[in-house]
Amino acid sequence: GVRQVLEAFITGLPDFQETAEIKEFIKTLTKSLKLKPKNVFMPLRCALTGKSHGPDLPYLLFIWGREETLRRAQVSLKVISR
């Protein structure tokens, strides 16, 4: 579920220098969780942005940087863990 996606995302998010690295990480995450891409992208988008639609997720993560991205993911994980 969403918790599993967020925990794996937080644990595995690498330092990144470009959007291609983020895309590759999410692709690898999807395979390791044995989920369909939409079942990873949608929970991540909602958790990180608070919206179900918007700009390409890897570009947003690149703009925010790793620390802000992790902060957003951790806040969302705390909220759904209540």
pLDDT of 33 reads 98
Give me the helix-helix angle, 2-12 and 19-33, nearest 10°.
130
Which residue ranges form the domains of the chain, and what is each CATH number?
Answer: 2-80 (1.10.10.350)
Q: How far apart are CA 24 and CA 74, in angstroms?
A: 21
**pTM, entire model:** 0.93
**pLDDT band per the 50, 70, 90 thresholds, residue 82:** confident
pLDDT tens for 18-70 read 999 999 999 999 999 999 999 999 999 999 999 999 999 999 999 999 999 99
Name the one residue in this structure whose structure tokens are 């969302």. 76
DSSP state of 58: H
